[in-house]
Amino acid sequence: MTYETVSRLAQQGGSVYFAVLFIAAVVYALWPKNREGFDHAARLPFDEEL
């Protein structure tokens, strides 16, 4: 294997890895079960009881 081949494979593998990671983060953020926790975190700056 030449350097160019290894470099191309690493770039493509990294792109696929980060695309999958991004999609997983978006799915996690939009999953209905997580809504309550995110809504609570969004209201924290306005909570005066702290």
pLDDT tens per residue, range 2-11: 999 999 999 9
> Within a domain: residue 23?
yes
Question: Distance between CA atoms of 8 and 12, rounded to whole angstroms?
Answer: 6
Mean pLDDT of the chain: 94
Please report the pLDDT score of residue 50 as a whole number: 57
Q: How would residue 48 be classed by pLDDT, with cut points 50, 70 and 90?
A: confident
* Six token digits for residue 20: 């999958």
> Within a domain: residue 5?
no
Half-sphere exposure of 36 (CA within 13 A, CB side): 1
Q: Is 27 helix (H, G, I), strand (E, B) or coil?
A: helix
Give the total number of structural domains in the chain: 1
Residue 7: C-alpha distances to residues 17, 18, 45, 46 (Å): 15, 16, 46, 49
> Within a domain: residue 37?
yes
